[in-house]
Structure 1
């Protein structure tokens, strides 16, 4: 099954401006993401609205496309990039939205996500993992998800779901943390990008709720670990140490 990784990358960042070009070792972060995604799926492209990022990607030999600066989400940027690439004859069976701020791509996770599309009923898939013991499950920056018996998402929320009304049952239940990596069949990516915001999305600030409220199923794929997200100067220092230790 052919898959394409699209890496949305923008310059603006409240805590770390210019994040895609922040250096990790001798390479900018966007290069780490690009090369990891390309190695995992065979082909990758960076979708950006900034000439500096575009030029940097081209300089290391990567593929990049310029997209509109008006996009409100990475999903919308991926949808435009896909249209531009289709005009060049690139027509994958699955598109994976790879986070541009996670430099150490977990190739196995991406491949497992794509493999889920061997089920013809899967239109959208995303990664989840169990919360580890001691992690702050109440942290609103870590969205939670509850799923049905076939691992399709029922609800995403920044709140504690399920609410422990009958706490005795929690001993046999582990909450799931959502990892913001998505994969789509190309027609579905275009469809969800065209949807108007919905009340749940606006309340929670989670774009995937728009898709659920419009009747789309989201298949969850449980993995053991997630990649490091670089959001602050401290995260960047950690990433540099990690890269140095592994040569």
Structure 2
């Protein structure tokens, strides 16, 4: 959601993200290729395409941006949602692109799947979109509802499908969280200073909200992954 992204960051945050600026230029073409069908297989079940949460199972980034704009209009004047909405606005196709290009994330993917990175990008992108919608709505049960897609699989295949998809998603989410954790650490002392500006405080709170949201989302993933043998 690049439009919202441009309006949220202060100069301090822009400097911290300057090393990734060149990646944003390829976010649009990447978003188009990310819609391609997934074609990988689980390493433990190599004879059939892996079942995953597909792009059509969740809202797209453009739909999420519209939903966020509507939520902002509905909650105008409610400062309690500002940080959460601004943090949600930072997620987008570029976030997926960054994670897919992170070696540690790809290594996790190749440990559990066989095939090209199309499935990797799909898993990451749909989880980021579920995270974004969860942040907009304040509804953290959405990931559990999405994981019900695996419940009609045979028990062992269901178990491995949930373990694999959650492992890749968690690796990407933890990588994404690192950037915001750094900003929280960087801004902490300034935030607590009596001389802190309102702009700096707002930026700190947005970064902290992202860290908190990702942690909560991962907790929900783990809870639903651990219920993988239940119908």
TM-score higher than 0.5 here? no
Which structure exhibits the higher relative contact order, with contacts defined as CA atoms closer than 8 Å and separated by 6 or more residues? Answer: 2
TM category, shorter: under 0.3
Higher strand share: 1
